[in-house]
Amino acid sequence: MKYVLKYIHAAVLLAVLLMPAAAYAAGQSSANFTIESDVISGGGGDGSSPNYSIAHTAGQSSATGESSSTNYANYAGFWHAATRLPAPDTDGDGVPDNIDNCRLTANSGQQDTDNDGYGNMCDADLDNDYDVDYADFTIFKAAWAAISSSPNWNADADFDSDNDVDYADFTIFKTRWGTTGPWE
């Protein structure tokens, strides 16, 4: 009897230790999603990721068994609905990060008058040498107080894109002084 109790205790201990592993095995994850579902009881639960929101898992196989895309894989029995979530917009300017030319600086108009890939709002590199220094200040100074119809107009120096190179633009220039690209 003593040996039987010893084996029962060992079996219970082993079951308790293996339970978290079984629960973890029910979860699915990758760089693009994390799905937690209760496979043992036939499905149920929700999941989400930066790219998808997964809702109402199903314990049945899909008609084809498996399906996948570049953003997620759907293994039969794990889930049945995926809803695309809005793309991240770190600076809150209404332009998703993946196409924003100043990802950390709000610039909803996306003006990039020198076509270097950096929006005017975050690009004070007026000579396009990848650093903001005295040469850029000289160019900015030459455009000072210009409006779009002035002979000294320089759209690149109008960082806030209000058609006027003024103190607001100088304030932006000062925050970028001494920096090197990439600018965000």
Domain ranges of the chain: 2-84, 97-176
Q: What is the pLDDT of residue 181?
A: 84
Least confident residue range of 59-63, 71-75, 78-82, 106-110: 59-63
Least confident residue range of 30-34, 39-43, 106-110, 119-123: 39-43
Q: What is the pLDDT of residue 86?
A: 77
Q: Are 77 and 59 in contact (CB under 8 A)?
A: yes
**Average model confidence (pLDDT) across the chain:** 73
Structure tokens at 59: 């314990």
Please report which helix (H) or strand (E) contains residue 134, including its range. Answer: helix 134-143
- Asked whether the predicted pLDDT for residue 24 surpasses 70, the reply is no
**Higher pLDDT among residues 68 and 138, named by residue:** 138
Question: Per-residue pLDDT averaged across 10-29, rounded?
Answer: 45
Q: Are 26 and 40 in contact (CB under 8 A)?
A: yes
Instruction: Output the DSSP codes for 147-160.
Output: BTTSTT--GGG-TT
Which parts of 56-177 are beta strand (E)? 66-68, 73-75, 81-84
Phi-psi map region of 56: left, alpha, beta (phi>0 left; psi -120 to 50 alpha): left
